Amino acid sequence: MTGRIIKQISNDYTVLSDSMQYVCKARGKFRNMKVSPLVGDIVEFDSENNYILKIEKRKNELVRPQVANTDQAILITSVKDPDFSTNLLDKLLTVIEYNSIKPVIIFTKMDLLKEEEKEQIESYIAYYKKIGYACFYNTEIDAIKNIFKDKISVFTGQSGAGKSTLLNHLDLDLQIKTAEISKALGRGKHTTRHTELLSMLGGMVADTPGFSSMDLTTIPAPAIRDSFADFNLYRDMCKYKDCMHDKEDDCCIKEKVKEGSILPSRYENYLKFIHERKY
């Protein structure tokens, strides 16, 4: 039978298949192959003896939370308190895109902005929308409720950005479910390794927020470049095919920044990211 691993506690994997749950063990052969099943994996399993037989190829694999096959990352981005940071947003977008995950940006705390601050933030938001990112305000609850169906989602965002607040508005049960998990495990006692996907609004969501370490140093500079969707529109017009849009001459991206078609903060952040890792 085929199913999806939705929970792991030590060596017990809960596999969901046709709305039924099977608690399975992983075979020793996986240990020999140096792979272990992950929450999110699609697996073939023996439902008689409760053994996982085969792990399907993953489309991605996150370290924290330890989840495979994540479809989308919900980026909770506060515009104030903590202040809006294009650097953090662009960094997260790069990491997420590099992992073949679809980012969805949800802006929070617009109500804390003064009128003149609002205009500036709104022009940033309009830009991110224009270059193709799905963007919402956290007040658009009904629209946000529709994005989870049939997907595995991971929440991310700075501490204090409004993740828990939004989750409570989206799914009242979820609060209870996560509270039950912490209680069952005993808060603060690191006894068992535990990851779980929770059902939410027709999809699944990881029980812990992700991408805490937004380390770009493992991402090759050309991949960082390719994650900037707005640059890709013009890159064919650069003189060099593999232009890094840095010191090269006849670089169309630099032109587009000057002329105002590319947001200057995007280009500045890009340069910081590629130079941080000394390509």
Ligand X SMILES: Nc1nc2c(ncn2[C@@H]2O[C@H](COP(=O)(O)OP(=O)(O)O)[C@@H](O)[C@H]2O)c(=O)[nH]1
Q: Are 105 and 135 in contact, with CB atoms under 8 Å apart?
A: yes
Q: Are 249 and 191 in contact, with CB atoms under 8 Å apart?
A: no
CB-wise, 98 or 137, nearer to ligand X?
137
- H helices within the chain, ranges in order? 28-32, 86-98, 115-130, 141-145, 163-170, 172-185, 221-226, 229-232, 252-259, 264-276
CB-wise, 112 or 271, nearer to ligand X?
112
Residue 159 in contact with ligand X, rule: CB under 6 A: yes
CB of 156 to ligand X, least distance (A): 10
Among 17, 50, 164, 178, binds Mg ion (CB under 5 A): 164
First to last CA, the chain: 46
Q: Closest Cα to residue 97, out of 240, 186, 229, 191? A: 229
Residue 160 in contact with ligand X, rule: CB under 6 A: yes
Q: Closest Cα to residue 269, out of 210, 224, 219? A: 224
Pairing of strands 194-200, 203-206: antiparallel
Residue 86 in contact with Mg ion, rule: CB under 5 A: no
CB of 76 to ligand X, least distance (A): 6
Residue 163 in contact with ligand X, rule: CB under 6 A: yes
CB-wise, 29 or 239, nearer to Zn ion?
239
Selection from ligand X, Zn ion, Mg ion, none that 238 binds (CB < 5 to 8 A by kind) is Zn ion
User: Segment 165-194, which members bind ligand X (CB under 6 A)?
Assistant: 165
Cα 174 to chain centroid distance, Å, stands at 19
With CB under 6 A as the contact rule, which of the stretches 36-44, 90-98, 104-112, 268-276 interacts with ligand X?
Answer: 104-112
User: Segment 224-243, which members bind Zn ion (CB under 5 A)?
Assistant: 238, 243
- The site map against ligand X for 29-68 (x = CB under 6 A) is ----------------------------------------
Q: Report the DSSP beta bridge partners of residue 199.
A: 204
Binding site for ligand X (CB under 6 A): 76, 108-109, 111-112, 138, 157, 159-165
